[in-house]
Structure 1
Amino acid sequence: MIGPLVNGGALLVGTLAGAALGSKLNANIRERMPMVFGCASMGLGVAMIVKVKLLAPVILAVVLGSLIGEIICLESGIQKVAGLSRSIVEKVFKPNNSMSPGEFSDRFVALLVLFCVSGTGIYGSMTEGMTGDPTLLYVKSILDFFTAPIFASSMGISIGVLVIPQLAVQGTLYYASTLILPLTTPDMLADFSACGGIIMLATGLRICGIKQFPVGNMIPALLIVMPLSWLWSMYL
């Protein structure tokens, strides 16, 4: 399991570098580069969406998944974890008061999706598990390495906490891929990509500050899109 470890290491090193630089990092870079990363997220989302094979089950998955997320208050739970992580870190490290608690939690949720459940990370983990090729995760590691310092310079070392869910998600998919992929079809994987692309698009809009989509509540859509795609193709 090389790719997930490299990706986690890149995120952690980038976070430490950004936290060390802090206010020394050029203000224009801190303020403007997140918009660039948001645009990159939207671009990746569009590239993933165009792979769709069956649009109806993808939209249904997004709607039902988001509804499930709203019912169980998934994003609120993530925000509580964000606040807890900040509290724990602030007991050890010097507090970073450059952001309000609400702004911190809001951005933390968006970064959780970007770093931990992006399409690149999911597909990269599954691909390495099946073929042993970690190339996709290497690409994601490069992006994360340069993205993390920008956010860590204003949010502090708390961003490093995301290494834990990132390794958990990628490691689980890596080891489970031999069980998951034989049960899928190319169309199911394409629709999974499209569903992830919609979430990535919403994440990019959120990072850019254009619209505060509840991306945390949209995550359950990733769990139901492939079964819905299969059912749709079989019976409709």
Structure 2
Amino acid sequence: MIIGSMVNAATVFAGSLVGIFLKRFVSDKYEEIAFQGLGLSTIMLSLSMMLSIKNPLPVIFSVVLGGLVGEWLQLENRFLILGEKLRERLPGMRSNFAEGVVSASVLFCVGAMTITGCLQEGVTGDFSILLTKALLDGFASIVLATTWGWGVFAAGFVVLIFQGGLTLLARWIGPWMSDFLIAQLVGTGGILVLGIGMKLLGIKPVRTLSLLPSLLFIVIFSLVFPH
């Protein structure tokens, strides 16, 4: 079962609906300060994740190589085009729908609690970590949905598919994942989360989706160079 992931997706759905509803009653200045608070909190979270890095050199190579591969595959552009086509087909969608899906999905899915929670549920059946994460994501989705609207709601499906798949996969690979590999993977994810924080604060529009292949490369490098 993937109970933790289902509950997590449900809180994202519920939180985003609340945020969409509250949007009409919240002025721009309150929306801005809420985003700034979430952006600063996201950067704090990313820094705590990056502190888990045991060997920074493979992480650097993974992020750079992953970004190059992601750009070569045009991951960011392809997803934005797909999101725009979906927005055109569904009335009422805002122009930043795709940006909301990408940013919210990365924020919700790339983190220490995601990896450790899915591993814990997959290996032991205990989904307590994912329940805690669900509560946090529910509050975050309220704030995000005041700007990105239905894009955050759609990210709930990404949470369900990604975390559910990772939980099922953990049943087979979890016992063979070393603490070193998990630490490197979490640290690399922290760099991607930092990009989301920078975007939330309006510092720099980081092409986060193009950096996603770095998570695959850090797994490979961690297995080849386990120290």
**TM, length-normalised to structure 1:** 0.87
**Bigger shift: 61-70 or 178-187?**
178-187
Contact 2:100 2:152 in 1 (8 A): no
Q: 1:192 aligns with which of 185, 192, 207?
A: 185
SS in 2 for 1:133: coil
Distance 1:230 1:145, change over 3 A: same
Please report how far the alpha carbon of residue 85 of structure 1 lies from its aligned counterpart in structure 2 after TM superposition. 3.3
Please report how far the alpha carbon of residue 165 of structure 1 lies from its aligned counterpart in structure 2 after TM superposition. 1.4
1:206 corresponding residue in structure 2: 199
Which residue type is aligned with residue 123 of structure 2?
M
CA RMSD between the two structures:
1.9
Contact 1:89 1:157 in 2 (8 A): no
Matched, 1:132 2:118: no
Q: Deviations over 1:17-69 (max 9, x none)?
A: 12222221243331111121122221111111111111111111111111110
Please report how far the alpha carbon of residue 197 of structure 1 lies from its aligned counterpart in structure 2 after TM superposition. 1.0
1:118 corresponding residue in structure 2: 111
Q: Deviations over 1:90-131 (max 9, x none)?
A: 2xxxx266xxx3x55434422221123334223322221112
1:55 corresponding residue in structure 2: 56
Which residue type is aligned with residue 26 of structure 2?
L
**TM, length-normalised to structure 2:** 0.91
Contact 2:101 2:151 in 1 (8 A): no
**Bigger shift: 46-55 or 225-234?**
225-234
For 1:74 and 1:119, how far apart are their aligned partners in 2?
A: 24
**Which 5+ residue runs of structure 2 have no aligned equivalent?**
none
1:168 corresponding residue in structure 2: 161
Distance 1:155 1:58, change over 3 A: closer
Distance 1:155 1:206, change over 3 A: closer
1:33 corresponding residue in structure 2: 34
Which residue type is aligned with residue 149 of structure 1?
I
Alignment of 1:1-236 (within 5 A): 1-90=2-91, 95=92, 101=95, 103-233=96-226
Contact 2:49 2:111 in 1 (8 A): no
Please report how far the alpha carbon of residue 174 of structure 1 lies from its aligned counterpart in structure 2 after TM superposition. 0.5
For 1:176 and 1:83, how far apart are their aligned partners in 2?
A: 31
For 1:9 and 1:196, how far apart are their aligned partners in 2?
A: 23
Q: Percent same amino acid among aligned pairs?
A: 29
SS in 1 for 2:119: helix
Residue-pair matches, total: 226
Contact 1:117 1:166 in 2 (8 A): no
Distance 1:154 1:89, change over 3 A: farther
Runs of 4+ in structure 1 deviating by more than 3 angstroms, as ranges, are 103-108, 116-119
Which residue type is aligned with residue 57 of structure 1?
P
Please report how far the alpha carbon of residue 218 of structure 1 lies from its aligned counterpart in structure 2 after TM superposition. 0.7
